[in-house]
Amino acid sequence: MGGGGISIYAHCLIIILFGIGFSSVSLVVMAAAAAAASSAPIDTSTAILIWVDPSGNGDFKKIQDAIDAVPSNNSEFVVIKIKPGTYREKIVVPANKPYVTLSGTKASETIIAWSDGGDIFDSPTLTVFASDFVGQFLTIQNSFGTTGRAVALRVSGDRAAFYGCRILSYQDSLLDDTGNHYYRNCYIEGATDFICGNAASLYESCHLHSLSTLNGAITAQHRGSPSENTGFTFSACNITGVGHAFLGRPWGAYSRVIFAQTYMSSVIVPQGWDDWQDPKRQSTVYYGEYKCYGPGADTSKRVQWSQSLSEDEAAPFLTKHMIGGTTWLRPAPTHFKRFTGSVTSLMKADEND
């Protein structure tokens, strides 16, 4: 299982801008840094602390109630600590509530579960629209079953990071929708297109577990044109499963997915990739592998339209530093303000001090 005692915010989070030159990247990074600096909280060491405890000994019994207590257009870091338990809630973090962290203590003991299927945008157990969001040490599960689309986690906000989380469903488990995202030490499980969407995301040291019994796809990346700087990179990950699976298939005609230095069990079929019954996409997708290993990593029978990358070809997809990821990850807060019943009133009190 993904887990690991890794500090939130301890790593540089990457905004993956694929396939553009260094000078262009520099300009984009400077602009992004300036925008982030103008809107981000000044004091990165301090956060408002809210406790969720189903027994009633915290500030709230439900996670959604704690999120609702965060004021619109929030400008302070808010850490919502969630006591162990199973929370049967369908949760939304609105776009006007940035800088929120949801933190369990251990993913196997802090579980957010719901059962809903059908539309991928309406079914998620947890939907994140807000920017600068962090999820840590949580299980996020959609228990709808095997009969259709059922998203556990939808991430549609920019600058979102997940550490030590378990994301569980069957079809479309993780809708990695839009924005720049980072996942580390996460366990992601499903059978069909269970990591899908059009975000620019880096997955490091994650465990991907396929429940497919026959040729399901792990990824369905949705990049629709060569001008979109989106795609999924999986670095130092671990792929296991129960049957047979493809590494990915193109939801979008210009789908882009990279697997690097990743262990692949025999669950991966020899051809590796599927064109989703659309041969025209073979000439537009970008599917690459770099220094992967394990019985499923043999590229001798891969489809001819995938690529075995050289070190130079893989390098732009693997580095965080060239895009200035440190501008939107901050150190873990070291000081906390006690929640007194209203984040809004607490903020106003601070302004009057």
193 in active site: yes
In a domain, 15, yes or no: no
CATH of the domain at 272: 2.160.20.10
Query: Which pLDDT score is estimated for 9?
Result: 40
Query: Which pLDDT score is estimated for 40?
Result: 65
Query: Which pLDDT score is estimated for 320?
Result: 56
Residue 128 lies in domain: 22-337
Prediction pTM value? 0.86
In a domain, 352, yes or no: no
In a domain, 273, yes or no: yes
177 in active site: no
DSSP string, 154-188: EE-SSSEEEES-EEE-SBS-EEE-SSEEEEES-EE
Say if strands 139-142 and 166-168 run parallel, antiparallel, or are unpaired: parallel
Query: Which pLDDT score is estimated for 339?
Result: 86
Residue at token pair 């537009």 = 284
**pLDDT, tens digit, for every residue of 145-198?**
999 999 999 999 999 999 999 999 999 999 999 999 999 999 999 999 999 999
Cβ proximity of 239 and 265 under 8 Å: yes
From the candidates 176, 177, 193, 274, give the one annotated as an active-site residue: 193
Question: Which residues 6+ apart lie within 8 Å of 189 measured at CB?
Answer: 166, 167, 168, 169, 173, 208, 209, 210, 211
In a domain, 186, yes or no: yes
| pLDDT beneath 70: ranges in the chain | 1-40, 42, 319-326, 329, 342-353
From the candidates 172, 176, 177, 274, give the one annotated as an active-site residue: 172
Number of domains forming the structure of the chain:
1
How far apart are the C-alpha atoms of 116 and 169, rounded to whole Å? 11
Output the CA–CA distances (angstroms, integers) from residue 217 to 80, 90, 246, 274, 315, in the order listed: 34, 26, 5, 8, 25
**pLDDT, tens digit, for every residue of 127-151?**
999 999 999 999 999 999 999 999 9
What strand order describes the sheet that includes 91-93? 91-93, 126-128, 153-155, 174-176, 195-197, 216-221, 245-248
In a domain, 351, yes or no: no
In a domain, 7, yes or no: no
